[in-house]
Structure 1
Amino acid sequence: MSTLASIVAVTLAGGLLSVLVAATLTYAVLGRLVRHLVSLSTGVLLGTALLHVLPEAFESGADTHALFSTLLGGLLFFFLLEKAELYRHDHHHEGDGHGHHHHFDAQRVGRGGYSVLVGDSIHNFCDGVIIAAAFIASPQLGLTTAVAVILHEIPQEVGDTIVLINAGFSRTRALVYNGLSGLAAVVGGLMGYWVVGAWDGLFPFLLVIAASSFIYVAVADLIPQMQRRLPVREIVSQVLWIGAGLGLVLTTLSLLHAGH
């Protein structure tokens, strides 16, 4: 399969898979699933960023200080983008155990019209560019990056579906809108392939930006959601799901290296 075909396939699969999960499971199951997948995503995102993407970038021979500066700039960029509500990636919704009031989801959607969908589309577009840069660097890096993005997209899109349903959308309408926002990843992938692919020297820096995105989402959003007083059993469950995410990354890396 060509690099372009791989980029289109994985970006399209990520959006379709998350919508499929949201369409086939009941509301109650979705709420429980999101909690577990948040922990799993934390392990996957941190493992992919720190065990594969950053090492790949730093082994490229690019200037180390420049790469660290890019990492810092990337973290600040995604912080500011989230401040502007253009990089939404939270999983808060009514019934998630965080004590949100009854009209919380409706307010989230209504505050900026369709701000949840707009922010999600921009996030998906960025993910598409990140996946494209990784595939152009190497197919192995592209696959592991795509796995990290897709596993994070599932709880994100499921959470958004719950928000939209609670805000008054029908289930079908919420799923269709989320599916359309998922197509932004395909657009980002194509843009990344055609525009970014022209400058080989940028790849290490794009990989660092991808890693900064993963680290920011994990540290600024996912981990704080888990930092609540919980029974020991739930804490152990969180740790096990994070470990499962790390184990998935390590297994994927070993399989890809074995087949390389």
Structure 2
Amino acid sequence: MLMVWIIIFSLLGSVVSVSGAALLLFFPEGTRRILTPCLVSYAAGTLLGSAFLGMIPHALEYSQPRSILSLVLAGIIIFFLLEKLVIWRHCHVEGCEVHNSAGPLILVGDAFHNFVDGAVITAAFLTSFPLGVATALAVIAHEIPQEIGDFVILLESGYSRHKAFFYNILSSITTLPGAVIAYFFLKSMEAVVPYILAFSAASFIYIATADLIPKLNQKIGIQASIRQFILLLAGVGTIILFHVQHG
């Protein structure tokens, strides 16, 4: 039964994200420019909440604090290096530097990241059902604004809307094999699950602090700042509420 839930939430983390992003593309550009930062703010909150209130605490229950925290630090450094290689880059704002990259490169990088997301979801579910659902929610929340950016890149690269949607679905569906492979691998090596959670927490922290929040800081208006702050807290609050109700 656990495998069924993993598959369901892995598909939600991929197909729902792409569909939501495609739907938002039909909004007027002005509306989209308002909604995307709102989604980014909420996503940053869910990522930070999942990492600090879910993944790291659960990892610390099964391993030495020094080992877990060292891996979180190492993970953040590794993701910095990956970003420099344009593998882990998540662009959530139209007009950023990554939009100068070719469409195929974005799709390959996105497929790699979604594959890892699937493994992250599985590791969380193997630890506890509430952590799995909360992690999947965080994945969905930050994937939607990312997919909007990916759509814009492909459209600017000459892809039609239908082809952009099709290729984004292909790159996002790698979440499922990532989840399934991780399930059979991690089930036989449960001792490594806490370290997978720690490494996953590092990716969530890095995406939130090195990518999402800096984009939000580009808007300095008081109303925008208040809206972003409230939505970030809402993202954290969603994770807290879910753990309180189902923990």
TM-score norm. by structure 1 comes to 0.88
Question: Where do residues 132-171 of structure 1 align in structure 2 (5 Å cutoff)?
Answer: 132-171=122-161
Q: How many residues align?
A: 244
Distance in 2 (alpha carbons) for counterparts of 1:22 and 1:56: 32
Does 1:84 find its partner at 2:69? no
Instruction: Map 1:109-124 to 2 at 5 A.
Output: 109=102, 114-124=104-114
User: Partner of 1:18 in structure 2?
Assistant: 17
What aligned pairs does 1:217-232 form with structure 2 within 5 A after superposition? 217-232=207-222
Matched-pair contact (CA < 8 Å) for 2:21–2:145:
no
CA distance in 2, matches of 1:32, 1:169: 25
Tell me how far apart the structure 2 counterparts of residues 88 and 252 of structure 1 sit (CA, whole Å): 29
Task: Spell out, residue by residue over 1:112-143, the C-alpha distance to the aligned partner (whole angstroms, 9 max, x if none).
Answer: x5111111111101111111111111112111
Return 234-243 or 162-171, whichever deviates more.
162-171
Conservation of the 8 A alpha-carbon contact between 1:22 and 1:30:
no
Offset from partner CA, 1:157-205 (integer Å, 9 cap, x none): 1221122112221111111111111111111101110112211111111
Contact 1:130-1:210 within 8 A present in 2 as well:
yes
- Amino acid corresponding to residue 36 of structure 1 in structure 2: C
- Which secondary structure state, in structure 2, belongs to the residue aligned with residue 52 of structure 1? helix
**Alpha carbons of structure 1 residues 24 and 227: separation in structure 2 relative to 1, 3 Å:** closer
1:108 aligned residue (93, 101, 108):
101
* Alpha-carbon contact 1:89-1:123 (below 8 Å) kept: no
Give the corresponding residue for 1:8. Answer: 7
1:228 is displaced (CA, Å) by 2.3
CA distance in 1, matches of 2:64, 2:107: 38
Give TM-score scaled by structure 2 length.
0.93
Check conservation: 2:11, 2:175, Cα contact below 8 A: yes
For structure 1, which runs of at least 5 residues remain unmatched after alignment?
Answer: none
- Pairwise mapping of residues 23-42 of structure 1 onto structure 2 (< 5 A)? 23-25=22-24, 26-27=26-27, 28=29, 29-42=31-44
Task: In structure 1, give the amino acid aligned to 2:6.
Answer: I
Quote how far apart the aligned CAs of 1:238 are: 0.8
- Give yes or no for contact 1:71–1:208 (8 Å, CA) kept in 2: yes
1:75 maps to a residue whose letter is I
Q: CA–CA distance in 1 between the matches of 2:119 and 2:20?
A: 24
**Rounded Cα–Cα distance in structure 1 between residues aligned with 2:36 and 2:74:** 30
Percent of aligned positions that are identical? 37
Separation of aligned partners in 2, 1:168 and 1:220:
29
Structure 2: 5+ residue runs without aligned partners? none
